[in-house]
Amino acid sequence: MNSLFNPKTIALIGASNVKGKIGNSILTNLLFSKKQIYPINLNEKKVLGLNAYPSLKDIPIKELDLAIIAVPKKFVFDVLKDCAFKKTKYVIIISSGFKEAGDIDSELKIKNFAKKNKIKIIGPNVLGIFDNYSNLDTLFLSRSAQKRPKKGKISLISQSGTVGGILFNQFEKKNIGLNKFVSYGNACDINECDLIEYLNKDINTDVIACYIEEVIDGKRFVEILRKQKKPLIILKSGKSKKGSQSVQSHTGNLAGDYSVYNGIFNQFNIVSANTVKELVNYSAVITKPQIKNVTIITNGGGYGILLSDYFENYNIPILELSEIQKEKLKKALPLGVGLKNPIDVMGDANCERYLTAINLTKSFTDTYIIILLGQVSTINKDEVLKLNSELKKLNKNIFFISTMDEYTKILQESFLVYEFPEDLANYLTPLIKNRK
Amino acid sequence: MNSLFNPKTIALIGASNVKGKIGNSILTNLLFSKKQIYPINLNEKKVLGLNAYPSLKDIPIKELDLAIIAVPKKFVFDVLKDCAFKKTKYVIIISSGFKEAGDIDSELKIKNFAKKNKIKIIGPNVLGIFDNYSNLDTLFLSRSAQKRPKKGKISLISQSGTVGGILFNQFEKKNIGLNKFVSYGNACDINECDLIEYLNKDINTDVIACYIEEVIDGKRFVEILRKQKKPLIILKSGKSKKGSQSVQSHTGNLAGDYSVYNGIFNQFNIVSANTVKELVNYSAVITKPQIKNVTIITNGGGYGILLSDYFENYNIPILELSEIQKEKLKKALPLGVGLKNPIDVMGDANCERYLTAINLTKSFTDTYIIILLGQVSTINKDEVLKLNSELKKLNKNIFFISTMDEYTKILQESFLVYEFPEDLANYLTPLIKNRK
């Protein structure tokens, strides 16, 4: 799929100068890819400064890597014929109104025509695709409303455009690195199996995250899961009876019984996510080292206690401090510091006190949870910057709880940071069992 | 406790002109109460424009309703003696370093002295108290960093100051109305039982929310729960072995076995929360009508499917559309709209389309979940304003899912709005069983 993710030539059918239009938003994003772009517009000579063409037939090349179709449904088939004329390798059909809206025939017509003409299709009914390595960005999400996530080794595929958009947003918000994002919609041609197989071979993909509503070829899907080597996290919706009915009306396919999927996921050690946040955060965590011994250091007792409760629920092991360690902590830290794990360094703790607690425990622990509650503590931005730079040097698994957006922003540059202890505890669960 | 929550005269020991100091922050907040305030400061003649006094003994009244002590621990006992001299009814001891820091003796000394002199104490080791009806605000949370929640009928008590601050913040963030907030800390005198009993009699309290780390008098606590009439939501931390050990070091008391509490909560129909967000949101939801039939209307299929999954997990009943209703929806709405519940009105839905779906289902449903996904939809601020004002007129249980902060802000003025479907499903659970 190199011509899909890193095309040399791209045509956008439905390119527009009108702000707010889908074809304007996509072209704006395409410009970041610095590829050869051919905007197609019936009336305009120029679109966003590029030479435009009235039809795909008019572009000055004979073969095309990628065509993006962003015109109303009724024009899609004719455009596809033009794509065939230009020997187009890949077509992304943004347009909706097909199977998901009850029009199965139109979708079948497209599917068959494409197959006959050796055109590979993503869609219809998609948000587009995004690649942080080739800089290809065909999404109809404006960059002013939705910043792009930083470059990383996780690739994300989503059947639903809206859920895909929300997942994409979570990557950016949590500063989690992303490689590719594919909204694959009705999957009339390229489906989740094709994408997972491709991503398994992609050298810049270490983790594959999927939001799947329905699997068309169950047998092939199971075969892929069986052989799966790279960590694969799946949010399978339509688990319930009602949910399954909704899948049917949303994509026109049956969702299948969840108990079946659940069994398969367990059998093949696939990480199953139940929510969009789990999908994103499990993906971010999965490549970190397994947790053997956690030490929690907090400047607020309450959050330490709650986190202990959640860790015990999830069987996340908290380091038991030895008498020698307790004695050392007692000598090094002020009176009143909680000499248990969680270590409560109290509301007036500065960076130094956190570091002291870390230094006295680090030969026995592989994972630190640093809780930084800002509301009534003496911690400030300078202290957080200092802590951040010191902890970057420490060769440990480190996760933060921070309740102050200002501190979260600093820490998120290098660490995973959560606001609520129950979320952190949940997101660490992939690290407590042996997983692929 | 009228002299505590609505005192006529207040002294603040440790009042300060220095920004950032606890005694400065508290006095700034006290000024909003428009009571008679006596700042105590050894050196200053004026603090924040008010006449200040070197000692409590110097204030020009003989009896005092409320003294707030915000001086270092070593001075607290002497100040308490002055409080006795001035026949003070209530004392809030903000100062920390007592039992929670291992100094049990100092706390006992204070406790006994207060008892002998008929002084009632909140604390030590607290954030202060807040009352939206009397406008009393003794919190050491600056209003610039933490806006105050709007007035409402929920009262909140928290043993932990930091967790209390986070709970308080959640009320404000979600625009949930609050009456009183009490951070009661080490509870050397007034404890959770006293506060719950008082709030049960308070006419402006309809719901009581508690974060409790340890219960000192279990027998009395159980007796209160047994007789409890008003909805009571409790987040009891220290459930786990580790958590229980941490409670011990944080407040100096034992947490008790959670299985005991769990059994009691179930027996007496007390709503048990496991997280701070559950505590806040269960409290906000609990006084709404019971749910019998939910209709979900969404402009993104995926979130409708996920919500169906979660609702089925939680046994929240989704209305089954009749053939007649489906036929009516089909006639009134464009081709492609999902004629099942969740009703998928599609990404190009405007306010009108949502209203049509509501009007055609409202005689069969008592609860609406309106999902407004902004990322790739045609919804805009004007449409949201219109929808908001129309739905305010509808006499139904209405909850929103919104992914756009701008829309959430508008809708939150009148409705509960959540970002993620799993949260909404969870927070509705108090409405599906018969609860007090």
**Exposure string for A7-29, b = 16+ CB within 10 A, e = fewer:** bebbbbbbbbbeeeebbbbbbbb
Query: Shortest CB distance from B335 goes to which of A101, A160, A376?
Result: A101
Tokens of A92: 């992304």
Please indicate whether residue A218 or residue B311 has the higher confidence score (pLDDT). Answer: B311
State how far residue B160 is from chain A, nearest Cα, in angstroms.
Answer: 6
pLDDT value at residue A34:
87
- The Cα of A112 is separated from the nearest Cα of chain B by a number of Å equal to 22
Q: Provide the pLDDT confidence category of residue B272 given band limits of 50, 70 and 90.
A: very high
Local structure of B229: helix, strand or coil: coil
Spatial contact of A405 and A199, defined as CB atoms under 8 Å apart: no
Q: What angle do CA B355, B356, B357 make, to 5 degrees?
A: 90
Question: A102, B335: Cβ pair inside 8 Å?
Answer: yes
Contacts of A303 in chain B (CB under 8 A): 162-163, 166
Strands A232-236 and A207-212: parallel
Q: Does residue A150 have a pLDDT over 60?
A: yes
Dihedral sign, Cα of residue B323, residue B325, residue B331, residue B333: negative
| Per-residue pLDDT, A81 | 98
Identity of the residue in A166, A249, A306 whose CB atom sits nearest the CB atom of B403? A166
3-class DSSP state of A297 = strand
Residue B109: which of B85, B83, B76, B82 has the closest Cα? B76
E-only strand ranges, B198-354 = 207-212, 232-236, 271-273, 294-298, 343-344
* Count of other CB atoms within 10 angstroms of residue B420: 19
Q: What is the pLDDT of residue B436?
A: 38
Nearest to B309 among A145, A243, A373 (CB): A243
Which of A97, A161, A375 has its CB closest to that of B162? Answer: A375
Per-residue pLDDT band at A339 (split at 50, 70, 90): confident
Token pair 């490549």 is found at A287
Strands (E), A128-273: 129-131, 151-158, 178-183, 207-212, 232-236, 271-273
User: B368: which residues sit within 8 A by CB, 6+ positions away?
Assistant: B294, B295, B296, B297, B358, B391, B394, B396, B397, B398, B399
Does residue A244 register a pLDDT over 80? no
Using an 8 Å CB-CB cutoff, list chain B residues near A420.
275-277
Whether A272 shows a pLDDT value over 80: the answer reads: yes
Lowest-pLDDT choice from A66-80, A260-274, B143-157, B275-289: A260-274
For A398, the 3-state DSSP assignment is strand
**Could you tell me the CA-to-CA distances from B291 to A159, B176, B318, B341, B343 in Å, in that order?**
32, 20, 10, 16, 18
- Reading phi first (left if > 0) and then psi (alpha if -120 to 50, else beta), residue A232 is in beta
Contacts of A255 in chain B (CB under 8 A): 305
What is the pLDDT, as a whole number, of residue B117?
98
Nearest to A162 among B247, B303, B420 (CB): B303
Please give the pLDDT value at position A189: 97
Cα–Cα dist B193/B214, whole Å = 11
Does the pLDDT value for residue A270 go beyond 60? Answer: yes
Q: In which element (H, E) is residue B105 found?
A: helix B104-116
Chain A residue with the nearest C-alpha to that of B336: A101
- List pLDDT tens digits, range A184-241: 999 999 999 999 999 999 999 999 999 999 888 888 999 999 999 999 999 999 866 6
Contacts of A213 in chain B (CB under 8 A): 302, 305
> What tens digit of pLDDT does each residue of B26-63 get?
999 999 998 999 999 999 999 999 999 999 999 999 99
pLDDT digits (tens, 9 = 90+) for A415-424: 999 999 999 9
pLDDT tens string A287-311: 999 999 999 999 998 999 999 999 9
Q: Answer yes or no: are the C-beta atoms of A28 and A141 closer than 8 Å.
A: no
Identify the pLDDT of residue A141.
Answer: 92
pLDDT digits (tens, 9 = 90+) for B4-30: 999 999 999 999 999 889 999 999 999
How many Cα neighbours within 13 Å face the side chain of B238? 25
- Is residue B302 helix, strand or coil? helix
Count of helices and strands (H, E) across chain B? 16, 18
Residues of A in contact with B146 (CB under 8 A): 375
What confidence category does residue B243 fall into, taking pLDDT thresholds of 50, 70 and 90?
A: low
Binary contact (B306, A341; C-beta < 8 A): no
CB contact under 8 A, B101 and A250: no
* Average confidence (pLDDT) over B264-286: 95
- B247, pLDDT greater than 70: no
Here the ipTM equals 0.91
Q: Is the pLDDT assigned to residue A54 strictly greater than 60?
A: yes
Hey, of A146, A171, A246, which one would you mutate to test binding to chain B, going by the most B CBs within 10 A of its CB? A246
Read off the pLDDT of each residue in B396-408 and give the average, rounded to a whole number.
Answer: 95
Q: What digits encode the pLDDT tens for the residues B347-374?
A: 889 999 999 999 999 999 999 999 999 8
- pLDDT score, position A256: 58
Residue B112 has pLDDT above 50, yes or no: yes
Q: Do B309 and A237 touch (CB under 8 A)?
A: yes
Looking at chain A, which residue has its C-alpha nearest residue B211? A302
A161-184: string of b/e by CB count within 10 Å (b at 16+)? bbbbbbbbbbbeebbbebbbbbbb
Residues forming beta bridges with residue B64, ordered by sequence position: B88
**Residue B248 pLDDT level (bands cut at 50, 70, 90):** low
Q: Give the one of A247, A304, A342 whose C-beta lies nearest to B305's C-beta.
A: A247
**B338 with A249: Cβ contact below 8 A:** yes
Nearest alpha carbon to residue A100 among B337, B308, B340, B354: B337
Of residues A166, A251, A422, nearest to B375 (C-beta): A166
User: How large is the average pLDDT for residues B172-191?
Assistant: 97
Query: What sign does the CA torsion over B167, B171, B177, B179 have?
Result: positive
- Alpha-carbon span B349 to B298, nearest angstrom: 9
Q: Where is average pLDDT lowest: A375-384, B195-204, B416-425? A: A375-384
Check residue B109 and report its DSSP letter.
H
- Cβ contact (<8 Å) for B246 and A335? no
Terminal C-alpha separation, chain A? 25
Residues forming beta bridges with residue B154, ordered by sequence position: B178, B207
Residue type, A351: C
Q: What is the pLDDT of residue B335?
A: 78
- Please classify residue B109 by burial: count the beta carbons closer than 10 Å to its beta carbon, then call 0-12 exposed, 13-18 middle and 19+ buried: middle
A305 → chain B, closest CA residue = B243
> A375, B165: Cβ pair inside 8 Å?
yes
Contact A303 B163 (CB under 8 A): yes
Nearest Cα neighbor of B116 from B71, B62, B74, B80 is: B80
- Can you give the pLDDT at residue B252? 46
pLDDT tens column, A208-218 = 999 999 888 88
A57-78 burial: b if 16+ Cβ within 10 Å, else e: eebeeeebbbbbbbbebeebee
Q: Across chain A, what does the average pLDDT equal?
A: 92
Contact A312 B241 (CB under 8 A): yes
Host H or E run for residue A222:
helix A218-227
Question: What are the phi and psi torsion angles at A332 (to 5°)?
Answer: -85, -20
How does DSSP assign A302-313, residue by residue?
HHHHHHHHHHHH
Q: How far apart (Å, rounded) are the C-alpha atoms in residues A233 and B331? A: 41
Q: What is the mean pLDDT of residues A237-263?
A: 63
- Which one is predicted more confidently, A19 or A41? A41
Average pLDDT value for residue range B89-109: 94
Q: Which member of B162, B312, B335 has the closest CB to residue A240? A: B312
In this prediction, residue B379 carries a pLDDT of: 85
The span from the CA of B186 to the CA of A417, in Å, is 30
Computed over every residue of chain B, the mean pLDDT equals 92
> Which tokens in the block code for residue B110?
């204070």
Chain A interface, mutation test: which of B142, B246, B280, B333, most A Cβ atoms within 10 Å?
Answer: B246
Count CB neighbours of B69 within 10 A.
27
Q: How many C-beta neighbours within 10 Å does residue B324 have?
A: 9
User: Does pTM surpass 0.90?
Assistant: yes
pLDDT at B255 exceeding the cut of 80: no
A302 contacts B242? CB cut-off 8 A? no
Q: Residue B100: its chain A contacts at CB < 8 A?
A: 301, 336
What letter would DSSP give residue B58?
G
Contact A275 B422 (CB under 8 A): yes
